[in-house]
Structure 1
Amino acid sequence: MNNDDPPVQEWIDECSNNINNNSNNVIVPIYNNGYDYGDKDKLPLDRVVDDNYNDKLSSEHDPLIKKGNSDALDAGPIWRQAFFKDKVMINVFFALGMCTVVMSGLMLPLVFTEYVKYHHPTYTSQQVESEAAHLKSIADSLPYVANFLLSPLLGMMSDRIGRKWIMALIQLLQIIDMLMIGLASWKKVIIPLYISHSLAGVSNGMISIVFSYLADITTKAERATWFIIVGTGMGISLAGSPLIEILFLKFSFNVAVFGNIGFLIAGMFCLLPIVNSLHYSEGRLKPASANLVKANTNPFSAILMLFRSSKYIIFYALLNLSFNFTLQDTLTTSFYYTQLRYGWIPWQCAVSTSLIGVAVFVWSGIAIPLLLRWFSERLLVVVCFFCSATFHIAYTFAFDQYMWQVSICLGSFSLVIINLIQSIISKATPPDIQGTVLSGVSSLASLGAAAGSYSSANIFAYFISSSAPFYMPGMQFLVNAVLIYITCILSLIVYKRVPEPRPRSSIIDAEEKVPVLSINA
């Protein structure tokens, strides 16, 4: 027992006095770090539980301890945590959304290839690949531009009306986009696809909103675990969805379109039973008097505010931007690259993506939780950047398809950077502006992703065309490898020179007060 702990006998005496007074609602004081918060009038969050309160809000959606269930004070098994159902459902929702992202990623190259063949029947196969890659680079870039412009607005709205409704809106836009993908294939028109794909680009900020939702309903101690679970779900989606999509395509393109829409609708149903996290902060009820921070919906102003907020957050936001820029080479060119270099057909690309998903599952669900026992998140970010740069060199010179597959699976370790950086920034951000800050970070990253997708696809298209000084289909990987090595060095400098800030909260004081227990006598 610490010297600052209150005497146990004093605690027992106070409980006994409350019981002897025949109170209908016995207040049991809880002591934390030597502070007595037994006086309900002093509670900053107005967290006293009485019978009326219990009737209004079920214990399943409230992290308070009802009926003297003191065991819940301990973290205990993950399934006994508060909001367990909501945490599970939001992970299922995100995993289903990731499935459609991966599956549409397999459909788009087919759409643009068929479009070019239809409108340019005299093109050689190499010309078709080059032109289709160029057209796809536009479709890949526009969603990031839309996400950049709309992320601050969505972040502000998620802080005002709740993450749940913003996620539902994004899901609806993705359903419309999937219908336009079908239209592009059926009618050989791409303008409607460009428009819908741009609007659905806000889904690129979905992971930030999901992390904000989890930040609302998790304590800091629980958060890292659930962020890792998000990454694990991402791996499962990557592993399973390509095989499902190939099965859909074996029937017809129409089955693939409506099958993907079915996944999106299933995701919408996952949102129905979850609690609106608007009323919570770090797993606890917000006070009724909590003030909302005024948010700016101008993306440029939002980024400027981000740069004025905290050096620590700025540095990691810039590292996130760099990673999103260099990530696009594998996302936007892998299909055409493997088709051109190894003669792969769609089912081989699907199997490759599934193997990457298995690797991501291993990294996120097994390797990272083990590594976090001995190493900090910040150090792992440095390691991930180094691995990413090294394997980009391997992608460039993967003359054999098996060398490519092994390299891409091992290199997928770097994908955990997304979750690690989101977790780092989330922990350094006041809880009542999680959505605003993380959406600002997402908006900044979208600029990098838009530039990265456009540049990578066009570098690839140029170096396989007759205009290039030499033929090198992997040039985009080599260029990005240099950039990632530079980013790795910068991340190491940030790790060594920039100290981790003390956790801040604009709702909960640094000497965090804990609520009282309610026991109905």
Structure 2
Amino acid sequence: MDNYQNKSSYDKFETKEADLLLPIKDEAIVKESLLREKIGMLLCLVLFLLQAYAQTSFTAWLMEEYALHNYPNSSQSQRDSTASHYQSISDALPFASSFIACPLIGMVADRKGRKILCMFVLFTALCDSIITIVGVKFWLLWPIYMSNFFGGISLAIAPLVFAYFADITTKEERPSIYALIGMSQGISACLGPLIGMGLMAWLPIYTQYFSCACLVLAMAVLIPLKESYHFREGIRISRDDEPVAPEDAAANGSRNPFVAVASLFKVGKFVGLYSLVAFIYCFSYIDSLTTQYNFTNVKFNWGPTPNNILSSAVGVGVFVWSIILNWILKSKSERSVTMFAFLGVSACHLLYAFSQNQWMYAVFLCVGSFTTLIFNNIQSTISKAVPNDMQATVLAGVSSLGSLSTFAGALTMENLLAYFISGKAPIYFPGMNYILDSGVMFLAFLLSLALLFIYPRGCKEELGEPLKDDNKVIDEEQEDLIKDNNNNNGEISNYNSINDDDDHNPTDIYRS
């Protein structure tokens, strides 16, 4: 009878503890849909990209007009070469400031939040457009260069958006989310040049006023959104009471861009090597956008209108490819898709270089429009391999590394184009920059292929280490409730103290 009573009491205690712990954990882990945040951030990104694509022909037109204004007696080929040189500086400066600013922005975003930093970088883009308006009015190039450098901080919008979505989505959802980001790019790339074409035909400076309106609206869209910093994979957490240890602070980023880039390899070799893939890719991917105007102007005598139409057609291609890639990624690995995409891009750049007429060039450029989506795949691959509390730091480091590469690529490719259309070149060949691009992309293909052998699909490096302290808040609540219960019932504490010793029978407490 005593044994029965003791056993009954023990079972009763187990029931109490189960009733105490399990409902708390089930109730605490609630994944929110955050649909408004997902739609709002996508809309913000669309507005940012829309104003950027609307200026597709503006910078090239501006540099041509500036060359004509300052060198009215020069030949057409000399003006084209001078304009291409001016544009190389204008295109490279934003990536120089992005390289410097991205690590700091990423570090602050991982400690203070993503949304407020998004608003800040949008504000820098707004200042860029305002200063450009002033520079154009007085035909001054240095304010435009200054605004280009300052506006390059806005390129940090990409890692911030990726980090925002990483906070509010699971790793399984991210490929689909990044495919939606690709669709957003396609929509913006389709509509932006058409809007820019109309504004350029009306008055070119109106593209800058349109840019200001889009950026103000994008900041307004962000205001009602929740700060993703308080979520982890869609689950609300509390970071206010989490102390930051000195070693954690050192691991969570550096203000020094070179240290931030080097720290990518400290996060893990997998992350570091795929950051190197991003570095190689960024050297050439922007070239098909920045040199398009000058290339078609020199080779096919195109102006702003046909270039904007082609850019819009490329945007349609980006949108279509984003749908196709989303379907492919449901059954194929991101890394495999990225590898084959590099091979395709390498072939497309050769086709650009040897296009015999404008129709061939336009078709090849539309087919190769998936180039702009590769970086999304690389970001997604890296994002899944790092902890959530380091998303902005790591992705900003990748963006900083990519900006350094793009800075060098913009100066190299556009000056290469300027050289091979000038009288100094041994041969006249405007497509030489595309041939160099093809070789660089093929190198990225080889590295991606090697990484697939080094890190097989589904390896632990690709999936990332499990996040630590995911249930920290839940455990703290459980401990508080257990302590409160212990104050009212000494049986639980006595049971726990005896249960720690394997030599004791859990029912001995009742016998004693």
Normalised by the size of structure 2, how large is the TM-score? 0.84
State the Cα distance separating 1:485 from its structure 2 match: 1.2
Tell me by how many angstroms 1:208 deviates: 1.0
Shift in Å at residue 296 of structure 1? 1.2
CA contact (8 A) 2:163 2:395 kept: yes
One-letter code of the match for 2:465? R
**What residue is the counterpart of 2:5 in the other structure?**
none
Q: Given residue 381 of structure 2, which amino acid in structure 1 is its aligned partner?
A: I
Distance, in Å, in 2 between the alignment partners of 1:158 and 1:505 is 22
Comparing 171-180 with 378-387, greater Cα deviation is found at 171-180
1:210 aligns with 2:167: no
Where structure 1 has 5 or more consecutive residues not aligned to the other structure, the ranges are 1-13, 19-26, 30-35, 50-62, 66-80, 517-521
- For residues 193-204 of structure 1, the aligned pairs below 5 Å read 193-204=144-155
CA spacing shift, 1:37–1:482, aligned 2, 3 Å: farther
Indicate if the aligned counterparts of 1:328 and 1:456 stay in contact, CA closer than 8 A.
no
Distance 1:505 1:432, change over 3 A: farther
* Equivalent residue number for residue 290 of structure 1: 242
| Paired position in structure 2 for 1:92 | 43
* CA–CA distance in structure 1, aligned partners of residues 470 and 206 of structure 2: 54
Of the candidates 95, 105, 125, which is equivalent to residue 154 of structure 1? 105
Read off the aligned partner of 2:30 and give its amino acid letter.
L
Q: Does 1:322 align with 2:280?
A: yes
Q: Which residue of 1 aligns with 2:30?
A: 64
Deviation at 1:28, TM superposition (A): 11
Residue aligning to 2:427? 470
Describe the SS at the equivalent of 2:331.
Answer: coil
Amino acid at match of 2:384: K
Deviation at 1:284, TM superposition (A): 1.4
> Does the 8 A contact of 1:332 with 1:456 survive in 2?
no
Counterpart residue identity of residue 193, structure 2: P
Give 1:503's aligned amino acid: G
1:352 alignment counterpart: 310
Paired letter, 1:504: E
| TM alignment of 1:392-471, pairs within 5 A | 392-471=349-428
Structure 2: where are the runs of 5+ without partners? 1-11, 478-512
Offset at residue 39 of structure 1 (A): 5.5
CA contact (8 A) 1:432 1:506 kept: no
Task: Please tell me whether residue 164 in structure 1 is matched to residue 164 in structure 2.
Answer: no
Change (3 A) 1:28 1:409: farther
Paired residue for 1:255?
A: 206
Match of 1:370? Answer: 327
Secondary structure of the residue that 1:335 maps to in structure 2?
helix
Give yes or no for contact 1:111–1:184 (8 Å, CA) kept in 2.
Answer: no
Normalized per residue, the structure richer in helix is: 2
Give yes or no for contact 1:48–1:515 (8 Å, CA) kept in 2: no
CA positional deviation for 1:191: 0.6
Indicate conservation of the 8 Å contact 2:238/2:473, yes or no: no
Question: Which of 227, 242, 245 is the aligned partner of 2:178?
Answer: 227
Equivalent pair of 2:54/2:194 in contact (CA under 8 Å): no
Cα displacement (A) at 1:256: 2.3
1:290 shift after superposition: 3.3
AA aligned opposite 2:347: T
| Distance change (3 Å), C-alpha of 1:435 and 1:505 | farther
Kept in 2: contact 1:112–1:132 (CA 8 A): yes
Tell me the secondary structure at the aligned position of residue 221 of structure 1.
coil
1:307-341 deviation line (CA, Å, top 9, x unaligned) = 22211111110111111101132122110100111
Letter of the structure 2 residue corresponding to residue 486 of structure 1: L
Deviations along 1:196-234, one digit per CA (max 9) or x if unpaired, are 111111222211110000001111222221111111000
- Structure 1's 117 and 399: CA in aligned 2 closer, same or farther, altered over 3 A? same
Contact 1:290–1:507 (Cα < 8 Å) also in 2: no
RMSD: 2.5
Who wins on radius of gyration, i.e. which is larger?
Answer: 2
* TM superposition shift of 1:255: 2.5
Provide the rounded CA distance (Å) in 2 between the counterparts of 1:509 and 1:229. 27
Q: CA 1:28–1:423 in 2, change beyond 3 Å: closer, same or farther? A: farther
**Secondary structure in 2 aligned to 1:253?**
coil
Does structure 2 retain, via aligned residues, the 8 Å contact 1:431–1:507? no
User: How many aligned residue pairs are there?
Assistant: 454
Taking the aligned partners of 2:295 and 2:164, their CA distance within structure 1 comes to 37
The percentage of counterpart residues that share the same residue type is 30
Amino acid at match of 1:98: L
Indicate whether 1:479 and 2:463 are aligned. no
Distance 1:511 1:266, change over 3 A: closer
Q: Is the Cα contact below 8 Å between 2:387 and 2:465 reproduced in 1? A: yes
**For 2:464 and 2:407, how far apart are their aligned partners in 1?**
32
Measured in 2, the distance between the counterparts of 1:315 and 1:113 equals 40
Distance (whole Å) between structure 2 residues aligned to residue 290 and residue 463 of structure 1: 58
2:137 to 171, 186, 205: 186
Q: How far apart are 1:271 and its partner, in Å?
A: 0.5
Match of 1:7 in 2: none
1:177 to 122, 128, 144: 128
**C-alpha displacement at 1:180, in angstroms?**
2.2
* Pairing 1:504–2:465 present: yes
> Do 1:37 and 1:515's aligned partners in 2 also have CA atoms closer than 8 Å?
no
Is the alpha carbon distance of 1:406 and 1:355 closer, same or farther for their aligned partners in structure 2, counting shifts above 3 Å?
same
Query: What one-letter code is carried by the residue in structure 1 that aligns with 2:451?
Result: V
Using a 3 Å threshold, how does the CA distance of structure 1 residues 514 and 472 change in structure 2: closer, same or farther? Answer: farther
Deviation at 1:186, TM superposition (A): 1.7
Partner of 2:72: 121
Say if 1:512 and 1:353 are closer, same or farther in 2 by CA, change over 3 A.
Answer: farther
Q: In the TM superposition, what whole-angstrom CA distance separates every residue of 1:71-94 from its partner, at most 9, and x where no partner exists? A: xxxxxxxxxx61101000100100
| 1:38 correspondence with 2:18 | no
- Relative to the length of structure 1, the TM-score reads 0.83
- Matched to 1:271, the amino acid is L
- Of residues 475-484 and 219-228 in structure 1, the stretch that sits farther from structure 2 once superposed is 219-228
Answer yes or no: is the 8 Å Cα contact 2:114–2:227 preserved in 1.
yes
In the aligned structure 2, how far is the partner of 1:417 from the partner of 1:514?
A: 41
State the AA in 1 paired with 2:118: M
Q: 1:140 to 1:121 in 2, by over 3 A?
A: same
Q: Which amino acid aligns with 1:350?
A: N
- For 1:311, which of 263, 269, 285 is the aligned residue? 269
